Structure formats: C-alpha cells, structure tokens
Amino acid sequence: MSDHHVYKKTEVVGSSRTSIEEAIDNALAECARSIRNMEWFEVTETRGHIENGKVGHYQVSLVVGFRIENS
C-alpha cells in the first residue's frame, strides 16, 4: 500500500431529458464502463436545449477524477 495517491482527470458531458441529476448519473455510469478507480467529480458547466419554450434536455460537463492504479 502506498502512502500517497496520484490522480488523473478526464472531462465528459452527460445529458438527460429529465434532470441535471440524471445527466450526471448518465455520465458517471458511462465512464464506469471503461474507467477504474473513479473517486470524485466536479460539475464545471450546466446548460440545456430549449424546445417549444421548455427544457428539451439538460447537459452537464463534468471533470471526473480517478486514482491511477497502484498509486
């Protein structure tokens, strides 16, 4: 076991027609399919698309931090 950890960050964008929270969940679920050791995320942008005067869908940009294996 190491006494320090080293992390890497990657930026992704999640989307949802339902909510900002679901957009975050969708992005993290997709990342979890190929990224191991995810430990944190930061929302950097929130935006959406308007359809007929209402929210059509939400987009959320995330920075996802994951620990480098064996660090």
**pLDDT, tens only, 54-70:** 999 999 999 999 999 88
Q: Which pLDDT value is given to residue 30?
A: 97
Question: How big is the CA angle at 44 (ends 39 and 46), to the nearest 5 degrees?
Answer: 120
pTM here is 0.87
- Which pLDDT tens digit goes with each residue over 2-48? 578 899 999 999 999 999 999 999 999 999 999 999 999 999 999 99
Quote the CA–CA distance of 4 and 38 in Å, as a whole number: 16
